[in-house]
Each structure stands twice: as structure tokens, then as C-alpha cells.
Structure 1
Amino acid sequence: MPSPPPAAGAALPLPDPPPGWEDLAFFRTGWPDIAAALRAEARPWQPAAPDLFRALALTPPDAVRVVILGQDPYPTAGRATGLAFSYPPGVRPAHSLANILRELHDDTGVARADGDLSGWARQGVLLLNTILSVPVGVTGGHRALGWQRLADQVLARVATRPTAFLLWGRPAQAVAAPHLDGPHKGEAGHLVLSTPHPSPLSARRGFFGARPFSRVNDWLRARAEAPIDWSA
């Protein structure tokens, strides 16, 4: 008799833990089960497997200067890139990203037509989703896989030294809160800017006009650090 076919996705190549983050306990205790669940997932999901840890790969721990937290990747087919809020190159920004770029222009004068934010990541802006995969078309469809443990461990590591946190919306604020009460809290430590989410439903409730980009750069300059080039 012929052998049975493999389970859906069983041969799917998944990425290794990204350099600098590979010692996090998540990669020993959480990632094996999530990897098995992704291989068994019958639905198409995104981002592409090599991009699952792209945010961490582009921004290793020692490079992190700013954290922007998202929730889960965009569910629209082909749009998720492995970076929170970022679009693929050449795709016209819409919805939350369009509002982010509108506030960027109003705040700093920087006009961006492209929604690829990888240039921010390469300057130390960690664009981290708290859930790193999503079935195409199903917002929150991988919420139960256990990705949040990785976000918690990443934030715990990042919060050991002064960092700017842009926390857009209550979910991001709730995830970050336990990590922001340590010895670096306060004016001499972290910069924490909490606003409503930039989605079309809430951006006018306090995201617009918050000036997060210039405030981050003012904080970095005060620390004698190079500002972020938000046009990159």
C-alpha cells in the first residue's frame, strides 16, 4: 500500500531563531509547538515563512532604540511583511498605515508615498507584532497559538535599558505595561508615548496631533543619539 500523504504543510521550511534573540526561552519552549501548528495549518497563512521573525532579524537586541507594537499581521493576501504596520514596497498605504504616514507628515514634514518601513527597522525601530502569523482573511486567527510569549520576552529584554515605546491602542499598552515599571521608568529612562490606535476608527481620538515621531527624535537627541530618519 502507498504511504499516506504528509500532513498539510509538513515539509514547510520554517526559519531559525534570529541572531541575538535565539537564547530567549520561547525558542525552546514555545516555538516547537507553534511550528508544528503552522505546518499542520490547512489554510494559507502569512507572512511568508522566511519573514516570520523579520522584525527581530532586522533589529537585533543591541540595536533597538524604539519599539512600535502591532497586533497581528495584515490578513489581506500578500500584504503582511513580518514588520508591524509595514506594507510591501510599491503598495499604496491605506487604513492605519495611511494615518501613520499622515501624522508623520503633519509632525515632521516627511512625505512618504511608500509604505515599506524596513528602513526604520534598520535604524533601530523594532516593528513587532504580538502575534506573528495570521490565516489569510481571518484577523486574529492565530491568536491562540501562543505567540504572545515571544513578545513578552522580547519586551522584557528591551526594557532593561532606556528605550522609546510608541504604544498605539489599548492592546499594545496592555502588553507593554508589565515591562515598563522597572528601574528605567521615568524621565531619565524610557520614553513612553501612549495614544489611541491609528486605525480609521480611532485615529481622531488622539493619535492625530500626538507628534510621536518628532518627540522620539527630541528624546534621542537629548541622549546624544542620532535621530531616526523617518524618510528612509
Structure 2
Amino acid sequence: MQFDLSRLGDWSSLPFFDDALPSIASALATDSRTILPPSAQVFAALERTQPDAVKAIILGQDPYPTPGHAHGLAFSVEPDVRPLPRSLNNIFKELADDLAFQPSNGDLRPWADQGVLLLNTALTVPAGEAGAHAKLGWSTLVEQVLQRLDDHPRACLLWGKHAQKLGAHLHNPDHLRIETAHPSPLSARRGFFGSRPFSRVNEWLIARGDTPIDWTGTS
């Protein structure tokens, strides 16, 4: 798998791209399975939301393992995907309860364009094998991204124990930290539903004199 790193912008200064990516790329190049998302979309979240533009961070786990779903942003799918993945459907249920809005599709790129970093903690997955690349080495990149974003207060939406463990790399006491259960069907009713993350982020941004996120934006 070959990567075009020319669109990384300020993220390209992270040591990961020189120190760790070559071994990951070599491992992927020798893997005969279909790897998702396509190589041109693996770093889409970073390309689309540059460090200084990040207002909020949402950490996912790994890309959707169904071909045609993942396009490089956590929880997001291509606009024509039906039905929506169950975790995303639960996110939209909470959005509807919180802000009385239901998006028309599952493409979250408009969120990314407003400063919401939608970062998976593994950036690739073999088709049909969820979690298979969890230990491939992508966590090094995620740790460096979070350390880079620790310089200024951000809204950090840490859904589930996996994201909360990685959130230990965020030390700035002025971050807004919203830690709840994951929106998956197995855990959403254990604290994700009713957590009002979208309005709480906006209230925090407004209190800081910043522009709120238009969570109703769709592609």
C-alpha cells in the first residue's frame, strides 16, 4: 500500500511519518487481503482538519470493515450508504434528542470541515475483519496527534474505554472532556444516550468566545 503524504499539511511534522509509517506500509504491502479504506483515504481525517483548526476531537476505533463504507473519518460513511452502521445510527439518535435534528446521510465531512477531528485509533482494517489492525502500530500516530493537540483547550469526546485510555495523552486541564459509554448497540444505553455531547460542546465553545459547530451540516 502506497501513501501520498503531500496533503498532510502541518501534521507531516509528526515523527510517526518518518519513524513508524514505513514498517506499517511494508506490512500492508505484503497483506493479500483487501485493506480498507483505499490508500488515498487512510489519512483523510488529518488532511481535512489541520492541527490549528481542531476545536473538537472524536476518537473512533477502526474503519468500518464493510467495503464501500469507510472513507477515512471515524464513524463517517459515504453519503449513499444505507442502512447506517449501528454506532452511527445511535450517534444520530442522540443528536436528534440533543438538538432535534436528524441528518439525511452518514457523511460527517461537514463536521470535519468545521474543526471536528474524526480520528480512528487504527487507520486501516482488512475487509470483514474488525479490529485486525489494532496492533499494527497506528496507535503511535494517535498518541502523537493527541500530544500535538494538547497545546490549546479542545473539546474531547471520549466515547468508550478504548478512547478514554488514549485520552490519557491529553493533559491540558482546560480541555472539555466528555467521557461516556461508546455509541455501539452493546453500550449506548449505559451512558451515551442522554449525554448531550453536541450541545455541551457548543456551550463550551460559545463560553470561550468561539464559533459553535453546526452539527446539522451534511454533505
Give the TM interval when normalised to the shorter protein.
Answer: over 0.9
Does the Cα contact within 8 Å between 1:132 and 1:147 map onto a contact in 2? yes
**Structure 1 counterpart of 2:152:** 161
* 2:53 aligned with 1:47: no
**Structure 2 counterpart of 1:150:** 141
**Structure 1 counterpart of 2:197:** 212
TM-score for both structures, normalised by structure 2:
0.96
Instruction: Output the CA distance in 1 between the equivalents of 2:46 and 2:184.
Output: 24
Instruction: Output the CA distance in 2 between the equivalents of 1:113 and 1:96.
Output: 16
Alignment: residue pair count? 215
What is the Cα deviation at residue 67 of structure 1? Answer: 0.1
Matches within 5 A, 1:55-204: 55-92=45-82, 93-177=84-168, 179-181=169-171, 184-185=172-173, 189-204=174-189
TM-score for both structures, normalised by structure 1:
0.90
Does the Cα contact within 8 Å between 1:15 and 1:52 map onto a contact in 2? no
Structure 1 runs of 4+ with >4 Å offset: none
- Aligned-residue sequence identity (percent) comes to 53
Instruction: Output the CA distance in 1 between the equivalents of 2:26 and 2:11.
Output: 20
SS for the counterpart of 2:12 is coil
Does the Cα contact within 8 Å between 2:2 and 2:25 map onto a contact in 1? no
Unmatched segments (≥5 aa) in structure 1: 1-11
Q: Report the residue type matching 2:157 in the other structure.
A: L
Q: Report the residue type matching 1:151 in the other structure.
A: V
Q: Per-residue displacement from partner, 1:132-160 (whole Å, max 9, x unpaired)?
A: 00000001111221000000000000111
Instruction: Output the CA distance in 1 between the equivalents of 2:200 and 2:140.
Output: 30
Q: Report the residue type matching 1:14 in the other structure.
A: F
Structure with max Cα Rg: 1
Q: Per-residue displacement from partner, 1:172-228 (whole Å, max 9, x unpaired)?
A: 000111x233xx31xxx1100000000001000110000000000000000111100
Instruction: Output the CA distance in 2 between the equivalents of 1:219 and 1:47.
Output: 33
SS for the counterpart of 1:159 is helix
Unmatched segments (≥5 aa) in structure 2: none
What is the Cα deviation at residue 94 of structure 1? Answer: 3.0
